Structures are given as structure tokens and as C-alpha cells.
Amino acid sequence: MLKGESKIVEYKREYSKTILKTVCAFANYIDGYIVVGIDDFKHIVGVEDIEFVKLQIESGINDTIVPKPYYEMESEMVGAKTVIILKVYKGASTPYTMNNKAYKRMDTSTVEVDRIGYEDLILRGRNQGYDEQSYEGKELKFNKFSDRLKNALNIGHISEDIYKTLGLMKNNKYDIAAALVSDENPIKNSKLVLIRFEENMNIKDRIFLQGVSIVEQFEKSIEFYNKHINTHEIIEGAYRKTIEEVPLVAFRETVANAIVHRDYSRESDIKIEIFDDRIEVISPGGLPIGITEEEYIEGKISIPRNKVISDIFLRLKIIERLATGVRRIKEYYKDSSEKPIFCVSENAIKVILPKSYNASLGTRNKKNIKEASKEENKILDYIKKNRYLTRNDAQILLELKKTQTTKVLKNLINGGVISKIGEGKATKYIKSEK
């Protein structure tokens, strides 16, 4: 506490009303200390009239801050000087205000919270998330969502009682969580953007997802991954192993976390950007109140910003357990030299998933693999009927260019499925002997 100012420690040379703003900040967000009797240069100047200054602080808190926060105050000798240590505890009845304004700590400073921050404090004081607020808007439809629920819960009919149990209805009214999972999701601040950049930063592919369920946003994100992320198959003993440029499970966790924990009160989009060397997932809103950056990155604690949405994704088996996302993402990179990066700011969280260099070498796009499998089957059927084929036969059969046809044939040869006999124009391809 006497090592210097920080987010949870503030020094004051003497009592002034600015101390009360910091009391509000600690009561709103985090336990903290105010030490009176130390100046900005860490010089211990002490307090002359201890009891009088204590009375000033107590009167200031009682007369100015609403509601009254819980605090403790004591004096302590530091060398030959006496300082006053005021400990303020984080409260549950937020927002704690001074002259109708709420405050927060920004590093070693105390600043007024903005409108969104103030609304967050109000909701926390009610023990309510943004997604639990009543929805006022057009009629909602849940055809797709009901089908997903039936499959996940293994039931034949979705009744209104189930929506109430899931927290999507209260007092016969839908809440914002219900609107977010509805088929035509009308919530304005719920857009998700998918972008694939080329090496020169030109946009190769882009999809805007708005007016669709956030569950569908998750599914479309996985489809986009499958379209643009390369894989490589290796043989380990008797088994084939698929290596992905970016682990699919890590991508799933990252996108699910972004959708579940985003701040839907902010006019900003989730952005999923695929580059040649990495994927970046940016989710609007910083950390929820009550969790530090260190706790988030270590994956030791998770405080869901949207409790109902978190529970829905858990029941749909999109996420496995709460408070495990970051740890699981790290786990999927444990054998990689490249590690995921977590960037936390006041207004957003960005997760960077690096691509594996080894998986990128000699890989084919998954889309191409699926196409090749189809073409490979055509060739195998042809050889089965005709005993062999030439490259010309293959090109006519597949309706592909020479280079593409040659690539398909090489894949079959490398896989040990067919063999090449003869040279030049006499080259033929036959089924390999097992």
C-alpha cells in the first residue's frame, strides 16, 4: 500500500472533496485504499490533527455519497509521521454517486463514468444483466431456435413454460435475450461481421450478419472458418491426423465467448477477421464489472455479462462450462510455438489466434479437399469399370483444366489409391495393388 499509487491505491497530501470521488469509484467497482498524508512525490508529510481529518472524511462520505458505502478508517505511524488509511469496500447497491455522478478508477486516476457505464452500474445494482431487460418491439418468431432446442434438450415440443424456465420470459413478456435468439433478431446492436483479407489487405470475402439469431451467427462463423482455413493431414501410425492452421475448437470457443459476453448496449459490431497469418476476433465491451484483466487472462474466473444468453449457449452445447473459455483456448495451443494473444481495453476485447506455420505448408483449402474427394470418386469409378484411364480420359471425365486434373491424380497417387504406369502419351493410371 505504501509502494506507490495504483488502480486500488490513491495518495492524498490532505483532505479535500476529491477524495469522495475516489470513494465512489472504489464502492462501484473494486476494494481500494486512500492514504491521507502522502504527497504526489511519495513524500510522507503526515496528518497533524488526526481526529479532525477523520471527522471531515466521515462527514463528507455520509453527507455527499448516495447510498452510503461501507468503509473502515484507521491511523498508522510511518516513520515519525502519522497517516490515515481509508479502506473502501466494493458495494452491491450500485451506482454509488456524488452529486448524481458516478466514478471509476482509470489506472491511478479517478474519472466520471459514461452513460453506458452508468447504466451497467444500475443493472448490477438490480442484479440484472442487459439481456434480462424487458423487450419492447415487434413480434418474435422462434421456429429455428425451437428446432435447435428440441435437438439439444431431446424433447418433442417447446412450450411457453420452457421459455420461462430458460429465462426468456418474465411476467408474460419476452426479454432482450429472447429477441437475440429469435429468428429475425431485431436488436440493433447485435451485428457480426466476417472478413477474409488477402495478403495486400484487399477484402477477399465479407459477410454481414444482422437480423438473424445470435445462434445462427455462431453457425455461420463456423462455416466461414471452414471456407477459409487450411488443413493438413498426416499419418501417425495406423491413423490419419488432421492439423488445422487455427484449431477449430479454439476458434469455436473464441467466437462463442465473443457472442455470449459482448456488450449489447454498445453501438459496435463483433468483427471476425481472417488474415494470412492469424484470426482476430473483436468483441464490443471491456471486462464485466468485478473481474480484473489478470483474472480474465489467467482464466480463473468468469462473470457472465449476459446470464441468460450464457445459459442458452450452455444448454445448446455450444459452450461446455462457464469460466473455462480462455483456459480452453490456451490448451488448444499448448503444443504450438505460436500462442493466442488476449488484448483487453475499456471498450473491447480482442483475441488473436495465430496460424500454425506447419499446418499452412502444403495444405489445401477444406473446400478444395471436399471437391477433390468428389472428383477422386469419379476417377475410381471409371477405373473400376474400364481397368485404367489416361490423363485425357480424366480431364474429359472431370471437365477440369489440365493442371487441376493432374492435381487430382497426384492426390490419388500420393494416397496410394492408384498407380501410374508408362511414360509420356502412353501413361496410364490403374488401381493400386493392395
The CATH-assigned architecture of domain 9-126 is: 2-Layer Sandwich (3.30)
> What DSSP letter does each residue of 341-407 carry, written as one string?
EEEE-SSEEEEEEEPPHHHHTT-EEHHHHHHHHHHHHHHHHHHHHHSEE-HHHHHHHHT--HHHHHH
Cell 451467427 sits on residue: 217
Please, which residues have CB within 8 angstroms of residue 22's CB and are 6 or more apart in sequence?
Answer: 10, 32, 34, 88, 103, 105, 110
d(CA 229, CA 325): 21
User: Taking a C-beta distance cutoff of 8 angstroms, is the pair 170, 161 a contact?
Assistant: no
What confidence score (pLDDT) does residue 327 get?
86
pLDDT at 369: 39
Q: Looking up cell 474427394, which residue turns up?
A: 373
pLDDT along the chain (434 residues), means of 10: 86 95 96 94 93 96 96 93 96 95 93 92 90 92 94 89 92 95 96 94 96 97 94 64 85 95 93 95 89 82 87 90 76 85 92 74 40 72 86 90 87 79 84 68
Q: Using an 8 Å Cβ cutoff, are 104 and 77 in contact?
A: no
Question: Whole-angstrom Cα distance, residue 345 to residue 207?
Answer: 26
**Which residues neighbour 337 within 8 Å (Cβ) at sequence distance 6 or greater?**
357
What predicted TM-score, i.e. pTM, was given to this entire model? 0.72
Alpha helices per DSSP H over 10-85: 18-29, 50-64
**What CATH number has the domain spanning 189-360?**
3.30.565.60
The CATH fold of domain 367-431: Arc Repressor Mutant, subunit A (1.10.10)
The residues pairing with 272 across neighbouring beta strands, listed in sequence order, are 194, 281
Q: From CA 35, how far away is CA 44, in angstroms rounded?
A: 10
All three cell numbers of 176: 432482450
Quote the CA–CA distance of 42 and 34 in Å, as a whole number.
Answer: 13
CA distance 405 to 6: 65
Residue ranges per structural domain of the chain: 9-126, 189-360, 367-431
Transcribe 293-334 into DSSP letters: HHHHHHT-----SSHHHHHHHHHTTSSSSTT-HHHHHHHTTT
Decide if 379 contacts 398 (C-beta within 8 A). Answer: yes
Buried b or exposed e, range 93-122, using 16+ CB within 10 angstroms: bbbbbbeeebbbbeeeebeebeeebbebbe
Contact 69, 22 (CB under 8 A): no
* β-strand pairing of 97-98 with 101-106: antiparallel
C-alpha 434, offset from chain centre? 49
Answer for the pair 245, 333: CB distance below 8 angstroms, yes or no.
no
**Per residue in 53-85, is it b (16+ CB within 10 Å) or e — as a string?**
bbebbeebbeebbeeebebebebeeeeeebbbb
CA atoms within 13 A on the CB side of 299: 14
**pLDDT score of 362:** 40
Give strand ranges (E) for 67-214. 71-78, 81-88, 97-98, 101-106, 109-112, 169-170, 173-174, 192-197, 203-209
Cα angle 18, 19, 21 (rounded to 5 degrees) comes to 70
- With beta carbons less than 8 A apart as the criterion, state whether 391 and 405 touch: yes
